[in-house]
Structure 1
Amino acid sequence: MSESLTRAVRWDTVVGALLVVLLLLSFGCVDGFGNSLNLSFLIGNTLPIALVALPMTLLVVSGEIDLSVASTAGLSGAVMGKLWNQGMTIETIIPLCLLLGVVCGLVNGLLVTRLGLPSLAVTIGTLAAYRGIAQIVLGSDAVTDFPSQYLNFASGRLGNTFLPQAFLPFVVLLAIAVVVLHATPFGRSLFAVGASEEAARFAGIRVKRTKLVLFVATGFMSALTGVFWALHYASARYDNATGLELSVVAAVLLGGIDFDGGRGTLGGAVAGVFLLGALQNVMSLLNVSAQSQIVVTGVLLVVSVLGPRVARQISVARAGRRAASNPTSSPVPSS
């Protein structure tokens, strides 16, 4: 197989192609999919997944994971609603919520990097803890009377287009994340850490500090997502964003990010996010039950882990066959 063909069948390329095929089929075969209202609804509902997927991609590339992102978002929204009820201005509340996200990410990061605990176990624990704190903070109340200009920004569209107003800030954040991961020494260090922590340390990379920064960034973006969620759906509740972590992890892994770290692209991750979002939208238009949609998401999560591994094994097997069929390419031992 030629190098150009090998590149063309990379897993992230396959996911991008599947997204294009799904969109073409949906425009042609699913009633209501192509109207502006539905496309705006699709993108708006996918943005929370996409926002958290940006730092999650960097974190998984480095060999770690954060399953507390949805609970951090819910806690951020609960604190936002509580402070708004107490008469604080929204311009003061939002920075405080973002700072809270930084603290949540810092707690996760310190437990992982300083105590050496596995991130999977740590963030399962903080997933429950942060959600419990959110319920203590706000109880069963739902806060809905936020300022109209913020509600309009979170749920409104750009002029007569189908694009949500919040899509432009996401594009800016995406561009920053792409540059950081694929065009900076810091980004290259993430791939090195994910491939081999020991080798990364010998190369002079400060592994613990790098991972701590990623956990803090993930907490920050999760809190930002919690604020957006409350404004987009015009409701701050302690259970906001429940289940978001499953969608984020499924989308990121579906995009070809290796769960073991060291491999992946942000382009693939974003393609995975919007593939999952478009699929959920199509299932809703076809009146597929919410329970069935959860099953589909779970199946995609399994496929997203299995698919790249199978593709790599096939690639290794083909390389082995090429080497066996061309023995003259092997180095000749010196006499």
Structure 2
Amino acid sequence: MRELRSRLSGLLGRSEALLVALLLASGAFGAALSPYFLRVSTLFDMTSQFVEIGLMALAMTLVIVLGEIDLSVASVLALSGVVLGSLHEAGIRLAMGLPAALGLGTFLGLFNGWLTTRLKLPSLVVTLGTMALYRGLGQILLGDRSTYGFPAWFVSVDLHYLPGTPVPLPLVIFALFAVVFYLLLHRTVAGRLVYAVGNNAEACRFSGIAVDRVKILVFTLSGFMSAAAGIMMTSRFGSARWDMATGLELDVITTVVLGGTSIFGGRGTVAGTVLALFVIGTLRYGMGLANILPQNQSVVIGALLILSILAPQVWTGRRRPHLPRTSSTT
């Protein structure tokens, strides 16, 4: 009985347990706002609105577990979409444009990692600079206009479904990537290295681990996932602009931190990130049904983020045994 109680107490102290409760609560909130909210088709279609955030959040989980940050993800998304649209306007077929956009995003992520490791600069400063640089390049390429006229098979990916099911294609793509990242972070040597570097990079260096190489690979992966999100957003909107996804990097970071990943590195799970994504997405969709203003939605999400950080610490503090005071004699 004591062992069962201990396991239950440990489970309740995990951030994932809180996120499951929040997800159920946000679903009940949405159902109270609209009788159509709990329809299967509505729930599945809702996910297409935040899959791009999810794709970037998967890679951002590794970045933050590593003890770093990447503020340029939304700018990489936009620039990849702009380049894809520009290549299409130039008469280059999407069969070549899509790999080019993915390759560009991968290179931009590699560049972030190179600047961070070779110049020994904080990733916060590096990616704050490249955030402006990459978006500025997109504005130079397109100006204030949009690119459109993509083939019908490419446009509106959110309206394509898994055959015979109500499951939209973006959700299937996200689920596949989520499985890959889960296995990568939690079931491979590379994932253990990410945790180790995030806990103590200097100790890893003395142990012979190529810390810089790990960081470069993770930033490169972040760039690739941002480019994939850019392709998906370009398809969903049927066009690309230099200013698309402006500010989305904050939603990505919020999702990862809400999922229980420590901003100081060394701790975090892919499952927590996925749960947090659906919590935020469900809440935003429900508040949208209630015509709540976007700025008020941000207040709710911010308060939720603070709650999710404090609650596990408060619960852990309650469970920690109090040691008896000892008196000292002189």
* Identity in percent: 39
Q: CA deviation at 1:72?
A: 0.5
- Tell me the residue number matched to 1:165: 169
2:164 is the alignment partner of 1:181 = no
User: Secondary structure of 2:36's partner?
Assistant: coil
CA distance in 2 between partners of 1:258 and 1:167 (Å): 26
Counterpart of 1:261 in structure 2 is 265
Residue by residue over 1:306-333, the C-alpha shift from the partner in whole angstroms, topping out at 9 and shown as x without a partner, is 42xx633652574351xx2599xxxxxx
Q: Secondary structure at the match of 2:146?
A: coil
| Partner of residue 237, structure 1 | 241
Partner Cα distance (1:160, 1:36) in 2: 14
Per the alignment, residue 312 of structure 1 pairs with 313
* 1:15 Cα deviation after fit: 1.0
Alignment of 1:141-220 (within 5 A): 141-159=145-163, 161-220=165-224
CA distance 1:278–1:91, shift in 2 (3 Å): same
Provide structure 2 residue ranges, at least 5 long, that are not aligned to the other structure: none
Counterpart secondary structure, 2:49: helix
Unaligned 5+ segments in structure 1 are 328-335
Partner secondary structure for residue 119 of structure 2 = coil
Match of 1:247 in 2: 251
- Structure 1 residues 235, 123: closer, same or farther in 2, change over 3 A? same
Q: Shift of residue 152 of structure 1? A: 4.5
Verify: 1:122 aligned to 2:126, yes or no: yes
**Aligned: 1:78 with 2:59:** no
**Aligned equivalents of 1:152, 1:110: Cα separation in 2:** 35
Q: Give the distance between the partners of 1:225 and 1:13, measured in 2 at CA.
A: 28
- Give the aligned CA root-mean-square deviation in angstroms: 2.1
Deviation at 1:208, TM superposition (A): 0.8
| 1:216 to partner: Cα distance | 0.3
Q: Does 1:289 align with 2:323?
A: no
Q: Which amino acid aligns with 2:169?
A: Q
Q: Which residue of 2 aligns with 1:64?
A: 68
State the shift of 1:252 in Å.
0.6
Q: Map 1:80-119 to 2 at 5 A.
A: 80-119=84-123
Deviation at 1:112, TM superposition (A): 0.8
TM-score calculated relative to the size of structure 2: 0.91
Preserved contact between residue 30 and residue 287 of structure 2 (Cα < 8 Å): no
The offset of 1:13, in angstroms, is: 1.8
Shift of 1:228: 0.5
Going from structure 1 to structure 2, the CA distance change for 1:299 and 1:129 (only over 3 Å counts) comes to: farther
Comparing 1-10 with 80-89, greater Cα deviation is found at 1-10
**Which position in structure 1 is the counterpart of 2:36?**
32
Task: In structure 2, give the amino acid aligned to 1:294.
Answer: S
Q: Aligned partners of 2:38, 2:247: CA distance in 1, in Å?
A: 27
**SS at the partner of 1:151?**
coil
Q: Which amino acid aligns with 2:200?
A: S
- How many Å apart are 1:22 and its aligned residue? 1.7
| Partner Cα distance (1:192, 1:202) in 2 | 12
* Whole-angstrom CA distance in 1 between matches of 2:303 and 2:135: 26
Q: Tell me the distance in 2 between the aligned counterparts of 1:12 and 1:187.
A: 19
Q: Residue 8 of structure 1 aligns with which residue? A: 12
Distance 2:204 2:63 in 1: 15
CA distance in 1, matches of 2:188, 2:81: 33
Aligned-residue offset at 1:265: 1.0
* Shift, 1:217, TM fit: 0.3
